Amino acid sequence: MTSHAPFLLACRGEPVPYTPVWFMRQAGRYQPEYRALRERHAMLELLRTPELAAEVTKLPLALGVDAAIVFSDILLPFEPLGLGLRFVDGKGPVIDTPVRSAADVARLPPVTAAESLGFVGDAVRLVAADCGDTPVIGFSGAPFTLAAYAIEGGTSRDHVLTKQFMYREPAAWHALLDRLTEIAVDLLTLQVRAGAAALQVFDSWVGELTPDNYRTYVLPHTRRLFHRLVPLGVPLIYFGVATGSLLELMKEAGATVIGLGWRIPLDEARRRLGRTMPVQGNLDPAALFAPPAELRRQVLAILAANGGRPGHVFNTGHGIFPGTPVDHVRLVVDLVHEAGVSA
């Protein structure tokens, strides 16, 4: 892998020969090869088996994407934490022993990534050895989003339990986020040492917070997370869903690239973040179902909004949906490479 890969150049805000592109959940349910593997292997088996995880990670490279994100899951630390983790078809992740009290936080055992999650590093190592000049992205969940899953016991539409815990048990809340921050730093460091050339921190549910609550209850932890990661010397991408009201605060957290959802225009985000701040995004993943002419229109509109400035990694503004036509994903890759040249 070379530091001159277009994806890494764009993440550093340097000129690129063409706009690099990858997709969140690019290795997943829309690919027939992945579905074939899932018919033979349960989700946790895929995640825990480095050879299988590496195989899934490499599947989208045939589409011409400029980075490979390791096939993993942000909730894997919940197993060594004793919270339990299951994936239920049609429901998603289920946490069997959610955190609901200060006593639950105090009972969480120590977790060391190398001992409990070493298979993630092994998968990164296998992919990095096979990918040549294509960078590998490692990732983890952000402290808030991990806490939200741990408290809610799975996905949630309103995160009321999370907010109640945050307001009523502030000392336990900060203790929980401290623990989750340490685990995330440890896991991300493990992935860089295994060969990851960039890191993405997923704060999927942080858009549920007001700016004041983010500043009070979350920012100190995300800032410490990124501060601890800076010495690793790799691009640090911070992504959340529906975070248009939080962009400036997310920048304060210290990431080197801000991932954008599809709800905010790219040119507005670049103006608010500062035109030299690299960004990633931000096609609506549902647009990948549109007829090719409409899909092309939306892709070109995003590239036009960037205005040819360096520091843009093209991506969807959330993960690719199941059932997405593979040929539409390939069409976007080719179009971005051809039309999205930064000056």
* Catalytically annotated residues: 25, 29, 38, 73, 149
* Residues 171, 101 contacting (CB under 8 angstroms): no
Query: Distance of alpha carbon 81 from its chain centroid, rounded?
Result: 21
Distance CA 339, CA 304 (A): 9
3 state DSSP class of 238: strand
* Residues 269, 279 contacting (CB under 8 angstroms): yes
* Residues 312, 339 contacting (CB under 8 angstroms): no
Kind plus residue range of the DSSP H or E element containing 259: strand 257-259
Q: Is the alpha carbon torsion for 146, 151, 153, 159 positive or negative? A: negative
Nearest CA-CA partner of 314 in 290, 337, 287:
337
What residues contact 332, with CB distance under 8 A and at least 6 apart? 21, 283, 288, 295, 299, 314
3 state DSSP class of 69: strand
What residues contact 19, with CB distance under 8 A and at least 6 apart? 6, 10, 303, 306, 312, 313, 314, 336, 337, 340, 341, 342
* Residues 140, 202 contacting (CB under 8 angstroms): yes
What residues contact 316, with CB distance under 8 A and at least 6 apart? 23, 24, 262, 281, 282, 283, 284, 285, 288
User: Which residue do the tokens 């890191």 mark?
Assistant: 199
